[in-house]
Structures are given as C-alpha cells and as structure tokens.
C-alpha cells in the first residue's frame, strides 16, 4: 500500500513539474537564472531605471582641504599626543560656522591625554562639560565656539576632536 501511494505521489509530482515548463522553453538551472546566463533579452514589463543626478553641495560648503591645511587651522597650543598618528582631518564651513574634525590614534595613556586637553580648555576660557554617556568624552564651550573630545579604547586609543567656530 505504501509503495503504491509513494509511486502515485511521485507520478503526480513529475506531471506537475513537467507542466511548469512551457512548450519551446528550455529548462535552465537556478544558477543560470541568477547569473543571467541564457537570457538574451530583457523582460518586456520592466522599465529602464533612470539614474538620479548627484546632489550638488550646498552653496556655503567649502571644498575639501588637505589634512595638513586643516591641521593649520587648529589653535597653536591645542594638545596632541606625541605618539599620535593622524587618521583624518576635515574642515567644513556651513551657514557661517566652521567645523574642524580630526581623528587620530595614539599609544600614550588615554586618561592623561584627556586631562591635558581639559586643561587646555580651562586655560583658554572654555567651560568643560562632562558627557554623561561616558567618562572618555567631554565638551568645551566658549564664546564663539567650542569643541568636543571623544576617546575610544579598543586595544589602541582613537580620539576624535571636533572644533566649531562661529564666524
């Protein structure tokens, strides 16, 4: 009984699969369909996709500067660890404000650098505002601008400093 039911099920399954292939259509493997092989023309119901034009930068945005040019914009006594390796430096000017962002890695003590940068802020009239989210982050606010310092410790110390200056 089980053999006859299994045989009948297999026969029906083969008929259903054979019915899926239309006359004159060659069977193709799933890999061919996914890779596009065997297809000579595009389906008629798909419309070509128009590419959107690239957005133009805002009128107030400044072009990207070289890292060395950006670093020249930092205050002269702004503390950088002796052992730092500059990862990125960008400057953006938008709506009358200039933002300078630098990222660097360093191997010296992270808490020591954080304290040195806080001391710089206090010595230059900034108010240091601790970040509630982490002990290795703070903001310094002053007349006409401020900056934030964030240090991530992942086997090596990586600092991100963003200075904002209102012009």
CA distances 152 to 29, 41, 84, 134, 155, Å, are: 50, 53, 14, 10, 9
Return the domain boundaries, the chain: 67-166
pTM higher than 0.75: no
The 10s digit of each residue's pLDDT in 30-40 is 445 545 555 55
Give one DSSP letter per residue of 99-138, joined into a string.
Answer: EEEEEEEE-S-HHHHHHHHHHHHHHTTPEEEE-TT-TTEE
The 10s digit of each residue's pLDDT in 93-143 is 878 788 889 999 999 999 999 999 999 999 999 999 988 777 889 999 988
Q: Look at residue 82 and tell me whether its pLDDT is greater than 80.
A: yes
């Amino acid at each position: 009984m089980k053999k006859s039911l299994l045989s009948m099920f297999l026969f029906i399954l083969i008929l259903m699969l054979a019915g899926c292939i239309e006359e004159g259509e060659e069977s193709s493997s799933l890999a061919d369909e996914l890779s596009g092989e065997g297809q000579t023309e595009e389906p008629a119901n798909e419309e070509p996709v128009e590419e959107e034009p690239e957005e133009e930068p805002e009128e107030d945005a400044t072009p990207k500067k070289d890292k060395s040019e950006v670093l020249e914009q930092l205050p002269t006594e702004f503390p950088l660890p002796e052992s730092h390796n500059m990862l990125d430096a960008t400057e953006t000017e938008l709506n009358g404000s200039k933002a300078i962002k630098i990222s660097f890695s360093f191997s010296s003590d992270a808490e020591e650098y954080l304290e040195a940068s806080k001391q710089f802020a206090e010595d230059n009239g900034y108010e240091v505002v601790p970040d509630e989210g982490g002990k290795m982050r703070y903001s310094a606010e002053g007349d006409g601008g401020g900056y934030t310092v964030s240090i991530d410790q992942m086997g090596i110390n990586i600092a991100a400093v963003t200075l904002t200056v209102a012009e």
